[in-house]
Structure 1
């Protein structure tokens, strides 16, 4: 395990971070839309978004990536591995974040919404200025926890040929025949990414629990 191999692992790490960032940011935008539709009060819209969430929560992420990468090609939509994995992880993240934020929106005390209505605030102002700031605060620990899962989930991108950290480790392992050393380093790199986030999420959870007493 030399310098060149380690630099190749760092290149894979760079793509893991980039893929996680794209999927999380796009998933946040789409997840917010899902959460708002899920709490819209319109029965048909709520049922449709509930179905969307159920599909992505009830099927393996690996299968979802396969469907996006190979399934869309069958209907004439060609995407490279980077685009397909980004879309697949974004859809996956939007469903989970949408449900997390739906629960957070509903956890905001009803009196807050009723007070906003009494002040004559419209739906957009009510959500933007009253409900969402409190819901985001409530959801932060769970959101950070999901980000940790998403970072680890990017390892499945290797199955469609995208060279992120796990695939880079596999390539090097096949070249130098030292799988324990290579994947020990790969695991350490994942740990260095995820552990600080896990600690920060636990800190926020304790902080908000103390503040609510």
Structure 2
């Protein structure tokens, strides 16, 4: 057993939390970009595109994130593509996040009254002009709250990447716990740090939902 002071344990956990924050931000932004592309195809007039994207979303929503991370980390090397835990974690979380964001945003787009589509069509706008100038600005007001709320889930999902060897907050907690034999203290601090990261986002999401409520 290695003796660590409380300050040393907390300092090491906070240092590891930096990678949790970085991974959350990178995967959420990349997932948002991919998710937006999926959204455009999901609400397009092409039946083929809608079917492909629907299948993509159902696969990633219907399978555990942990399994997806395993497939990326252990599956890509079988194809001759060597990936580090960082790359595997980023790719896995990006694909997972994009599927959920695309579905959240699709619901927001479909919440816009159909009369808006008809009105913009009567102005001789094409599909992309309708989305850009009429539909998406209205859908964005509805989507802000749920999107920020999903960001909380994205932060907590980073805990699963510890299983593929990426050293973030949960992995660091496990390593320190094994070294100090103080699991209650270590994991208690891990839980507090996650709460400090997630609670402001939760409160912010509720505030945005009230502020941008479509009914107003």
* TM above 0.5: yes
Correspondence 1:170 to 2:174: yes
1:189 aligns with 2:181: no
Q: How many residues align?
A: 212
Match of 1:67 in 2: 71
Give the equivalent residue in structure 1 for 2:84: 80
- Alpha-carbon displacement from aligned partner over 1:24-58 (angstroms, at most 9, x marks no partner): 00000000111111110211111111000000000
What is the CA distance between 1:141 and its match in structure 2? Answer: 1.7
1:130-185 deviation digits (Å, cap 9, x = unpaired):
11111111112211121111100000010000000001111111111111111111
1:146 aligns with 2:159: no
**Structure 1 position 123, deviation (Å):** 2.3
Quick check: 2:39–2:103 contact (8 Å CA) kept in 1? yes
Aligned to 2:94: 90
**1:13 maps onto 2:17 in alignment:** yes
Q: Structure 1: state its 5+ residue gaps.
A: none
Match of 2:210 among 195, 206, 212: 206
Structure 1 segment 47-62 matched on structure 2, within 5 A? 47-62=51-66
List structure 1 runs of 4+ shifted beyond 6 angstroms. Answer: none
Give the drift of 1:207: 3.3
Matched, 1:117 2:132: no
Deviation at 1:116, TM superposition (A): 1.4
Q: Provide the rounded CA distance (Å) in 2 between the counterparts of 1:212 and 1:134.
A: 11
**C-alpha contact (below 8 Å) 2:43/2:106 kept by paired residues:** yes
What is the TM-score with the length of structure 1 in the denominator? Answer: 0.95
Tell me the C-alpha RMSD between the 2 structures.
1.3
Distance 2:141 2:174 in 1: 39
